[in-house]
Amino acid sequence: MSSHFVALRVRLAGRRPKPAEDGTIPLSWLIAQWPEGEAEPVKYWISNLPADIPTKDLVRLAKSRWRIEHDYRELKTVLGLDHFEGRSFTGWHRHVTLVTAAHLFLTEQRSSPKAPARA
């Protein structure tokens, strides 16, 4: 998959950002995905990453949000992250540790299957 992207340094309006030491509003990245054939950009991201970061890295990090949301949904629905009903930090910590280990196991199995999968 490919698309066109635009990355601009902008000052955000409509918020109350913490001014820099010199009193100016800090610059942020505005990243926009503009697919070929579209009249205008279709997706937008705001980032506070450093000014010297390459555009390719900005786009990669912005697009990685889908993977994070997918993993979190899998942790909650498939692996039971949201099923903990205990009362102690120790119990919660054990629960989260086991769910995380199960997620790691599933991720490893997906990335390097031992047996060929059916088509």
Q: What confidence score (pLDDT) does residue 9 get?
A: 94
Q: What confidence score (pLDDT) does residue 54 get?
A: 92
- Give per-residue pLDDT as tens, 37-53: 888 989 999 998 999 99
Helix (H, G, I), strand (E, B) or coil at 83: helix
Q: What confidence score (pLDDT) does residue 49 get?
A: 92
Give me the residues of the chain with pLDDT under 70, please: 1, 15, 113, 115-119
- Give per-residue pLDDT as tens, 51-61: 999 999 999 99
**Which string of DSSP letters, residue by residue, matches 17-54?**
PPP-TTSPPPPEEEEEEE-TT-SS--EEEEE---TTS-
What are the angstrom distances between the C-alpha of 27 and each of 19, 61, 63, 88, 110? Answer: 10, 18, 21, 43, 40
Q: What confidence score (pLDDT) does residue 93 get?
A: 94
Q: What confidence score (pLDDT) does residue 109 get?
A: 85
- The H or E element that residue 61 is part of is helix 55-63
Total residues belonging to the chain: 119
Q: What confidence score (pLDDT) does residue 92 get?
A: 92
Q: What confidence score (pLDDT) does residue 108 get?
A: 87
